[in-house]
Amino acid sequence: MKHAIASLRFSLDESGAPYYQQLMRQIQQGVVSGELSVGDKLPSSRFLAGSLGVSRSTTSRAYDQLIAEGILTSEEKRGVFVAALPMVSNRLKRMQGSSVPSTQKHLETLAFDSGVDVSVFPTKEWAASMRRSWLNPDLTVLQGGYLTGYPDLKEAIVDYLYRVRGLECVAEQVIVTAGARDSLLLLQHAITLLARSETDSDDSVGAQTIKWWTEEPTYPPIREAIRSHEQTGALLIDEEGPCLPASDTVSNVAVMTPNRQYPLGVSISSVRRQRWIQAMQMTNARWWLIEDDYDNEFVYQGRSNVPFMQTVSVHDQAKDRVFFVGSFSKVLFRGLRLGFIVAPVVHVPVLQQSQRELGSSASLPIQPAVADFMLQGHFDRHLNRMRRHYRLKRDALLILLEAHLARWFDWKKPRGGMHVLIEIKPEFVSLIRTEAVLDQRIAHDIAKNDILLSTLSEHFAHKQYHDGRFGFVLGFSGPSEEKMKKIIIALEKWFTEILDNV
């Protein structure tokens, strides 16, 4: 089937890859070829789904993934557009392996990336797990069963969470997904069903809109994922973690990273944690909490805080109000696209219902290999090796920062995680005059050298909340020390040249 949408013709092959992947690929190609330009508006997911004769979840998923990758952007009440980000088309050409004449080749793009350093991935052990898991394949896997995940993998996840994160759960509570964003979409659907069932049973309440709250600042794709909801709010972050907001909405959902907030790196205090638990115990203002565990596998000093879900397990009301989200992609490799949800036992049937309605997007054939990799002990050994490896990379970055940027930036040594946040000192913020947002201006200038920087300001949804705070989120797990040094020196050069002219 073929349809003309604006300047781009979509063609879906029923015998090809999943429809959402075909849509993603064609939009990417449209950006690369110039058929789609920066600022071009795409049709709504509903309209596109109707035109192509597919479900809206298919088109929404394609858009959500491209928004997460920075290729598209969503504007509230306006629609979805091709993103105005530096070098989007260049990045897509590299992703797709497009051939570029030698006279037009760009330098390699440099970036501080919180991705996985695959140079030390145990490929031999992984290959052995792949072979073992498919020597005598499970017929249910071949038939596309196990809606909530491969049983051995779910058991391995339960064991892993107890040993590494101190979270007690059972396999029944685990729902395997295609990553953190897929987990969030599934939870949005499930919590909507749960809230509807609660309000329907209370005539004095009636049908109520759910208000979704995200941290301020937060990872932009998380904010994008809930932007379609009628009511959204911001959870301000202070030195004790996410603040509990006042809300007169009956049903509230908070998406947060309590144990290591992204990007600020703040851990929730015990006092603040208790305030949230008290709020979830109340019946007149229902609170749900989606706990994104993010990068808490990587702790370099001391121990990581206990998950919120474990803390609330002894509280009658609150224990049914927290969902835990994790991912394998940041531990093993990004292309794996495998995550999981741990749900309160009482709500597992609703998650299963949502999974049936939305369709399982997690790759089932790869799950036996991951399970074998974990059960053979390779996962634990790899995780321990990556902790040491990333600690050394963190220390190398801190040395570079001290040598080249201490004059202009402040930062704290993180005791865990995969990034360092550096903030421009207030005296230089006031000294450098610019009409643009300061860190975004710096990122724009440095992008001319094929260097991509993640700015602190872009993690804020509301300008008034960042209160003059500008800086950069430097992911150290992905780049080599050599690449980190090149970027740091480029930042040093920018400040030196600018301040020489002040």
- What region does 265 belong to: left with phi over 0, alpha with psi -120 to 50, or beta? left
pLDDT at 185 over 90: no
Name the more confident of 440 and 205.
440
d(CA 241, CA 82): 34
Residue 283 φ/ψ, nearest 5 degrees:
-100, -15
Instruction: Report pLDDT for 298.
Output: 92
Chain-centroid distance of CA 174 in Å reads: 19
pLDDT at 165 over 60: yes
pLDDT at 206 over 50: no
Tell me the pLDDT band of 359, cut-offs 50, 70 and 90: confident
Tell me the pLDDT band of 199, cut-offs 50, 70 and 90: low
Instruction: Put the strands of the sheet holding 339-342 in their side by side order.
Output: 174-177, 339-342, 322-327, 286-292, 251-256, 210-216, 231-238, 241-242
d(CA 178, CA 356): 15
Q: What is the residue-averaged pLDDT of the chain?
A: 84
The Cβ of residue 249 has, within 10 Å, a number of other Cβ atoms equal to 17
pLDDT at 87 over 60: no
pLDDT at 374 over 90: yes
Tell me the pLDDT band of 35, cut-offs 50, 70 and 90: confident
* CB-based contact 325:290 (threshold 8 Å): yes
- Name, in order, each residue with C-beta under 8 angstroms of 443's C-beta and a sequence gap of 6 or more: 86, 452, 453, 455, 472
Residue by residue, DSSP assigns 362-428 as: S-STTHHHHHHHHHTTHHHHHHHHHHHHHHHHHHHHHHHHHHHTTTTEEE---SBSSEEEEEE-HHH
Q: Among 61-75, 249-263, 404-418, name the most confident range.
A: 404-418
Percent share of the chain, pLDDT over 70: 87
d(CA 157, CA 169): 9
d(CA 475, CA 240): 23
**264-283 per-position pLDDT tens digit:** 999 999 999 999 999 888 86
**220-268 per-position pLDDT tens digit:** 888 877 777 778 889 999 999 999 998 777 789 999 999 999 999 999 9
Tell me the pLDDT band of 197, cut-offs 50, 70 and 90: confident
Tell me the pLDDT band of 203, cut-offs 50, 70 and 90: very low
Quote the tokens at residue 199: 């309000």
Instruction: Report pLDDT for 69.
Output: 66
Largest CA-CA distance found in the chain, in angstroms, rounded: 71
Instruction: Report pLDDT for 416.
Output: 92
**471-500 per-position pLDDT tens digit:** 999 999 989 999 999 999 999 999 999 876
pLDDT at 63 over 80: yes
What does pTM read for this prediction? 0.77
Classify burial at 134, counting beta carbons within 10 Å of its beta carbon; exposed 0-12, middle 13-18, buried 19 or more.
middle
Classify burial at 54, counting beta carbons within 10 Å of its beta carbon; exposed 0-12, middle 13-18, buried 19 or more.
middle
User: Which residues are 251's β-sheet partners?
Assistant: 210, 286
pLDDT at 107 over 70: no
d(CA 466, CA 430): 15
User: Which residues are 231's β-sheet partners?
Assistant: 211
Name the more confident of 400 and 229.
400
Instruction: Report pLDDT for 72.
Output: 81
Span of 138-142, 260-264, 309-313 with lowest mean pLDDT: 138-142
Instruction: Report pLDDT for 272.
Output: 95
Mean pLDDT of 75-86: 70
pLDDT at 1 over 50: no
Residue that is written with structure tokens 């290729």 in the block: 71
Percent share of the chain, pLDDT over 90: 43
Instruction: Report pLDDT for 463.
Output: 75
Instruction: Report pLDDT for 285.
Output: 61
pLDDT at 214 over 60: yes
Within 13 Å and on the Cβ side, how many CA atoms surround 74? 24
d(CA 373, CA 382): 10
d(CA 276, CA 243): 9
DSSP, collapsed to helix, strand or coil, labels residue 449 as coil
Name the more confident of 233 and 14.
233
Residue that is written with structure tokens 């080749």 in the block: 105
Q: Considering only CA atoms, which of 251, 264, 257 is closest in space to residue 308?
A: 257
* CB-based contact 67:24 (threshold 8 Å): no
Query: For 6-107, where are the E strands, in sequence order?
Result: 8-11, 41-42, 72-75, 79-82
Alpha-carbon separation of residue 111 from 114, 140, 444, 446, 484 (angstroms): 9, 42, 13, 11, 8
The Cβ of residue 56 has, within 10 Å, a number of other Cβ atoms equal to 14
pLDDT at 119 over 90: no
pLDDT at 173 over 60: yes
pLDDT at 96 over 80: no
Alpha-carbon separation of residue 158 from 261, 291, 294, 407 (angstroms): 24, 17, 17, 47
Name the more confident of 392 and 316.
392
